[in-house]
Every structure is written in C-alpha cells, then in structure tokens.
Chains A and B, each alone.
Chain A
C-alpha cells in the first residue's frame, strides 16, 4: 500500500516538472532526454543488461582484488552486490565509473560496457561517462556549499545557469529525494548543518540532478540510523522505474528486502549471480548457502 502511494506521488511530481519544462525555455533539456531514450532503445535491441562487466581484473601491486569478474546488471532493476567485507564489492562499483583512477596503485584490466558501449578503455571524456551515473558513498560527502548549491552544482557545471530553471530543478530533485519539506525554508544554509540522514538524501538529490540513468550506491545506509535507512531503501524502490540501481551491501536482510537481482562476491570473485528469488530460495553453490546461513561473514 505504502509503496504505491509513494510512487504515485513521485509520478505526480515528475509530471508536474515535465509539464513545466515543456512550456518554458527548457526544451533543449527535454529533447536531449527523448533523443537519448530513442538511441538507447535502438542500440540495445535484444540487450537487456544495462551494465556488463567482462573479464575485469584488478590488482594492487601483486595482490589480486578482483579476479575475472563477469557480471550483467539488468536495466531498471535494483541489483545488489552482496558479500562479506573486503571482498571487492566497493572496488567493483568504483571501476564502473572509473573512480579507480584516483588510486594509482590499482591496476585495472578488462572491459565494462554501459548500454553496449565500452567505457573502461574508452577515449571518451571521463566526465561524460561519470555523468551517466550518480554515486552515493558509505558516508555522505555533501559539497562545501549551501543545500541549494549542492543540488544545483551538477546542473551548473553542465552549463545550465538560468536561475528560474535552476530553482525549479532544485526543488524537483529535492522532492524526489523526499528532502524538500525539511529544507525548503533553509536552502541557503550550509549543507554541513544537516543530519547525516538528510545529507545522504541530499547526496541522492545532487546525484539525480546530473540526470544519470544509473545510481551507484556503496553501502549508502551504513552510517545512517534505521529510519533514515528505510527512507533510502523506499526511495530506491520508487526510483527503479526510471533508473538502474546498483547497490553494494553486506546486510543480508537489506538485500532480501529490496533486491531484484543479486551478485554475490567472495574474496574477489563473483560466486553467483541471478534474480533475487532464485538466489535466496535456491542458492547453487556451497559458499552461498553458507553465507545465507550466516556461517561466513
């Protein structure tokens, strides 16, 4: 019941925003989105997965962190990367938007396709690739500016500078992250003054504002209290209609609650992947069974 209520209110929001976009000076934004959608469907006839990782190996010096990872992540679903701490889940996620480049000691080899397009060795501008994906990290890192500017940042660096447009979009994305009602009277306040739970939702809004198709979330609830965690989970369930969500977690119950598709990793290898039902009810390997029982963690 509750989820349907939420998603319907979200839909209203989106319709409102879209309508306002159509009659205002912002047709460019809308057109880009429609074009993008057309191209996507053309390019991906018969391709169900949004992200595909092929033969990904990652080493730090001589230590193998990821060993021959092959993963297919379905579009518009919540995919959970599950596994005990230190098994390479976060690293796998960071290679998806090439944040591994920040760590010179990491030696990455392999291929990652997004919508059938290779990104890891691509000559394409890495900022363009990263704009396809929003990132939520373990603990929120709001930018050192006001709440408003945090959300507007992504739009501003994409060259969207008109104030009326920004105002509307900021409100839209803050509503989408269910933060608007809490912050609408103090948009000019520093983001550092928000609670951790609010900061995480602000980071979600900020990520959505870049207009990605993918949301990467790295244990986004690990620093949050149970209620804020639930809000994030609920949000993800709503958002999966429009976004492909990849979430790293080591909390089994969280995975069971929201996953559509599960990738189970252990010691740098993918042990098992498949639809959530199958994974939880009918695990294939011994390691998975042991993990689900709780004897490995």
Chain B
C-alpha cells in the first residue's frame, strides 16, 4: 500500500508541474498581448481626437506650438526621407557584407565569427552614442545638421541589424545548395547573387523592414544630426524634422492641445510601422514560395 501511494504522489507532482508551467506560459503570452494592446489603446485614445486631416497634410504654421493651426507633415515627410534613405544606404552596404561573409569567407569560420561578434556589439550600442559619434564627425567635417548627416548616422545605426538579419538567413542554408550551385559551374558571385540571395529573400525582406522600423523610430541619433525644422527639406543639406522629435517637443509643452497632438503624431508613427509590418508579411509570403524548404 505504502509503495503504491508513493508512486501516485510522484504522479500527482508531475501533473501539477505540468499544470503550473502550462499556466505560466499561457499567462506570459497573454501579458505580452495585453501590454501591446494597452500601448495602442493609450495612444489611440489620446491621439485620435487630435488627429485631423490638417495634421497630416500641413506643415506647422506660426503658433503651431502654442496650439494654433498647422500639422506635422514636415515630420512625416522628414521621417520617411530619413527612414528610406538610411535603409537604402544600409542595404546597399549590408547585403554584400552578408553575402561575402557566407560565400567568400565560408571557409574562414573564425573570421566570420569575429565579424558576427563585432556586429552584435554594434547592435547593442545605444543610439545616443551613435548620435554623439555622428555629431563629432560632423564637427570634424564642418557639416551642419542636415538630412544627409542623419541618413548616414542612422544607416550606421541600422547596419548591424541589416547585416545580421540577412546573415541569419544565409547561415542556415545547407551546404548541399552551395554544392549544387558550384557543381553547375557557377562562380562565387553567381552563387551569391543568383542562388543564395533568392533563397534567403524572405529573410532579406524581414531584415530591411526591421531596419526601416528602427530607422524611422529612432530619436536619439537624429537629435544632434538632423536638427529640426518646420519646413519640408528640399535638399540633402537641409535640416529635417522627424516624427519622434516632433512627439518629443510637443509632449514637453505645457499646453494640453499641443500635448494631445504629440499623441496624434505617435498614432501616425505607429500606423506607418504597422503598414510596414503588414507589407513585410505579404512580401515574405510572396517570396517564400521560391525558397527551397529543408
């Protein structure tokens, strides 16, 4: 009898363990969803009343920062310029780096791992440090706060994300596909640009959109480098407004209308990122069909 009860005790313990961990995981999942929902709710609740057509179609007029008419078109356009420009720059530099690491340096595991380590370190550097670095660089080169400076600094900031994102996809391609490509007589560049790039296209798209999300949302790195203006920039050498800074400036105002507009700007920024995320899903799905499943 005694033996038997010991066994069943163990059984019930296992059962409770299972039960407990299942609930922990269940709850953590829902807490995450809840937090996201709460953030969106807060922004929408405060921002939607202040959101109007005027907000997204007009630049700030005189007295905008005291609650008078105008909108944040300058910041919307500025952010898009900055995000697109820096993502493009980071892509143009990052894609070859990732392909190089995984094709030419395939046989040099140590070098590649060192590069990965350095990139991960750079990924962890806070963006204000990039901002400070960019500022020093600008002073050295005698540049003023401008769209170009911002694009360069943001590109540096998102470069590790871009490279590591693409690299993660390339890393998981089995050697069999490389062998298949080489056995057909392709050179390394043909293998990289015609085969591996296609195979990892879903990853490339994800990396690009992640980088873009980071680029458009970053505040600290653009604080010193792009400056702020009420005008829409017409050239790369002009200072540029960005949405995160527009939010920052309006939120620090004591006037309630202006504060509310900060939330409206946050709604716009969130909407842009949401659209980008949905687009990324659609594109990833579309390109996935060509990738070989392993």
Residues of B within 8 A of A210 (CB): 184-185
B194 within 8 A of A: yes
CA distance A151 to B134 in the complex (A): 49
Q: What 0/1 pattern do residues 96 to 109 of A give for CB contact below 8 A with B? A: 01010111100000
Bound state CA distance, A154 and B190, in angstroms? 11
B211 CB → nearest A CB, Å:
23
Contact call B291/A130, Cβ cutoff below 8 A: no
Out of A101, A142, A153, which one reaches B292, CB within 8 Å? Answer: A142
- Tell me which residues across on chain A come within 8 A of B187, comparing CB atoms: 127, 157
Chain A residues, CB < 8 A from B109? 104
| B104-134 with Cβ < 8 A to chain A | 106-109
Given A127-B186, A158-B185, A203–B180 Cβ distance below 8 Å? yes
Is B199 within 8 A of A157, CB to CB? no
A144 to B109 Cα, complex, angstroms = 25
Q: Does B28 lie at the interface of the complex (its beta carbon under 8 Å from any beta carbon of A)? A: no
Question: B253-294 CB contact bits vs A (8 Å, 1 = yes)?
Answer: 000000000000000000000000000000000000111110
Do the beta carbons of B176 and A157 come within 8 Å of each other?
Answer: no
Measured between beta carbons, the chain A residues less than 8 angstroms from B5 are none
Per-position 1/0 for B175-208, Cβ under 8 A of A: 1111111111111001000110011010000000
Closest residue of chain B to A130 (Cβ to Cβ) is: B185
Q: Are A191 and B292 in contact (CB under 8 A)?
A: yes
**Given A139-B176, A141-B179, residue A153 in contact with residue B293 (CB < 8 A):** no
Given A143-B195, A144-B199, A145-B198, do A102 and B107 touch, yes or no (CB 8 Å)?
yes
In the complex formed, the residue of A with least CB distance to B197 is A144
The listed residue (B108, B186, B289, B292) touching A141 by CB distance below 8 A is B292
Q: Roughly how many angstroms separate A53 CA and B194 CA in the complex, as a whole number?
A: 33
Q: Which residues 165-181 of B sit at the A interface, judged by CB distance below 8 A?
A: 174-181
Q: Are B179 and A206 in contact, CB atoms less than 8 angstroms apart?
A: no
Q: Does A248 contact B (CB under 8 A)?
A: no
A52 to chain B, nearest CB (A): 20
Within 8 A of B (CB), among A113-158: 127-128, 130-131, 133-135, 137-139, 141-146, 153-154, 157-158
Residues of B with C-beta under 8 A to A128:
185
Q: Which residues of B contact A83 (CB under 8 A)?
A: none
Asked if A192 meets B183 with Cβ closer than 8 Å, knowing A102-B106, A102-B178, A137-B176, the reply is no
- Taken together as a complex, chains A and B put the C-alpha atoms of A139 and B177 apart, in Å, by 10
Taking the closest CB of chain A, its distance from the CB of B152, in whole angstroms, is 34
Q: What CA separation (Å) do A101 and B195 show in the bound complex?
A: 19
Report the bound CA distance from A138 to B292 in whole Å. Answer: 15
Residues of B within 8 A of A99 (CB): 179, 182-183
Q: Mark A182-208, 1 if CB is under 8 A from B, else 0.
A: 000000001111000000000100110
Residue of B nearest to A97 (CB): B183
A residues 165-188 near B (Cβ < 8 Å) are: none
Interface residues of A in 75-113 (CB under 8 A from B): 94, 97, 99, 101-104
Which residues of B have CB within 8 Å of A135? Answer: 179-180, 183
**How close is A173's CB to chain B, nearest CB, in angstroms?**
12
Contacts of A139 in B (CB 8 A): 176
Please give, as numbers and ranges, the residues of chain B lying within 8 Å of A133 by CB-CB distance: 183
In Å, the complex CA distance between A94 and B180 comes to: 11
Query: Could you tell me the distance between the alpha carbons of A206 and B106 in the complex, rounded to whole angstroms?
Result: 25
Q: Report how far A42 CA is from B151 CA in the complex, Å.
A: 64
With A153-B184, A154-B185, A207-B184 given, is the CB distance from A144 to B198 under 8 Å? yes
For A104, give its contact among B107, B179, B185, B194 (CB under 8 Å): B107
The reply to whether A143 and B293 form a contact with Cβ atoms under 8 Å apart is: no
**Can you identify 17 A-B contacts, CB atoms within 8 angstroms?**
A97-B183, A102-B106, A127-B182, A134-B183, A139-B176, A141-B292, A142-B292, A143-B181, A143-B292, A145-B198, A157-B185, A158-B185, A190-B290, A192-B291, A207-B183, A207-B184, A210-B184
Q: Apart from A141-B292, A153-B194, list 15 A-B contacts with CB within 8 A.
A: A94-B179, A134-B183, A134-B184, A135-B179, A137-B176, A137-B180, A141-B176, A143-B177, A143-B195, A143-B292, A144-B292, A153-B186, A154-B185, A190-B289, A192-B292
Interface, chain A (partner B; CB < 8 A): 94, 97, 99, 101-104, 127-128, 130-131, 133-135, 137-139, 141-146, 153-154, 157-158, 190-193, 203, 206-207, 210, 216
